[in-house]
Structure 1
């Protein structure tokens, strides 16, 4: 999680989510700032008074916290704790504190969404792209479909190092997947919007993110090629990289890369530098 957030505050129904007071204590954590208010949870910056460093705390809204709802967060905690990789945001701890379900994560400097609001050099952008692709590949290696690939869910740490975060609606691919169109409009593959997410849906979302990183524009339905700002894409990216992005953005899932591993492998095997 990051110390800055570009996410907009959202409520759930007509009930306004309760917030923790700044400077209040939650177990060993001292609440310093609210980073994001989402539909289902808040994210806070907090100081760990025992270990002596800052963390991000993700806390489900209490008014939604029945057993069925919390079971989803327990699954998220289990997913986040089983993967240890430089480009996956691993869970530090999950526990019940003062009747709150609390998940603690390392605190980054900002989200990729924040970073994209400022100019990025080609060298830095290449690093960010490689880290994003590697994170998705690792997640798919563990047979997990993220279902919500977007700039807000990549957290930047000093280096820069980019980590893929937020497994809140991730689906394990070990069983038949039936979703309800969960995800973020604007970064959702057509079949995912119909409730049929797959590894190829994450590939499509990553293709949209790559296009956004290079042009500042997110292609929209019906995703006809070439999308707007294609001329800008051609000025910034090698033709082989453009062909890779186009394949990731095929509206027909069978024509895309099979998963994040295949996408990452294709990127690493580009015959020349990805960016001009």
Structure 2
């Protein structure tokens, strides 16, 4: 059921619908108590049962310990007026929308580096994201990127797999087989960064060279292209072990590129 503009949901007043996915609808809403606008994510009712709600609460508590400028915090995750609602700060747009417009090489690398910084912090805390993609990277004023849906992604993907839905474009091969690890997040991040640099998304079987390799080398240099190549190796043992190690390699390659 869609919510209408100006409909009330607890203390929140619906302003407009922002997006729809297989799993949830996201609304812009006004918090009438705090006086601020927020994002409300409402999982589709048909996909939410008692076990899923319990899993959401557990994962939300896990995500709450991730305190980093490049990770989107969950303000609350609870039932409101018969709807399960995940409340987060409201961004300007997601990375997928931003990538539809021109951006400089420096901007692309700034966004890529912030994505890796948020993911590296999560991996340091032993938290795997499992759904790194442009739509889960939310942009805020002054160029701040925050990676969203930590914890929530784990439940969402499990629920969608059970329903036969879900997008697999950024999922590592071993994750699709039910054996994810931090290296799976590295793979997904590598695809996002490659898309940032080249405007092209590699597809299965992910053979090298990826589409757009000439552009990547010309505009960003061989070293940054090599970082993405290693991150997106089909055989997971050939990838970076976690996002922290990938971040170190990325920063070194960026320094050598002069960008």
Q: Same fold (TM over 0.5)?
A: yes
The alignment's TM-score, normalised by the length of structure 2, stands at 0.91
Matched, 1:160 2:143: yes
**Cα separation, partners in 2 of 1:162 and 1:275, compared to 1, 3 Å:** farther
Alignment of 1:65-80 (within 5 A): 65-80=48-63
Question: 2 CA distance for matches of 1:191 and 1:65?
Answer: 26
* Residue 204 (structure 1) aligns with: 187
How many corresponding residue pairs? Answer: 252
Alignment of 1:187-198 (within 5 A): 187-198=170-181
1:145 is paired with a residue whose SS is coil
**Cα separation, partners in 2 of 1:63 and 1:251, compared to 1, 3 Å:** closer
Greater fraction helix: 2
RMSD across aligned C-alpha pairs, in angstroms? 2.0
* Residue 13 (structure 1) aligns with: none
Give CA deviations for 1:174-228 in whole Å, capped at 9, x if unaligned.
Answer: xxxxx98996311111111111111111111111111101111111111111122
* Residue 170 (structure 1) aligns with: 154
Matched, 1:119 2:105: no
Give CA deviations for 1:144-199 in whole Å, capped at 9, x if unaligned.
Answer: 1111111100000001000000132338xxxxxxx989963111111111111111
Question: 1 CA distance for matches of 2:45 and 2:220?
Answer: 46
Of the three residues 220, 233, 237, the one matched with 2:220 is 237
Unaligned stretches of 5+ residues in structure 2: 156-160
Alignment of 1:38-187 (within 5 A): 38-167=21-150, 168-170=152-154, 184-187=167-170
1:268 is paired with a residue whose SS is helix
The alignment's TM-score, normalised by the length of structure 1, stands at 0.85
For the 8 Å contact 2:216–2:225, the answer to whether it is kept is: yes
Unaligned stretches of 5+ residues in structure 1: 1-17, 172-178
1:149 is paired with a residue whose SS is coil
For the 8 Å contact 1:203–1:257, the answer to whether it is kept is: yes
Matched, 1:222 2:205: yes
**Cα separation, partners in 2 of 1:40 and 1:75, compared to 1, 3 Å:** farther
For the 8 Å contact 2:22–2:166, the answer to whether it is kept is: no
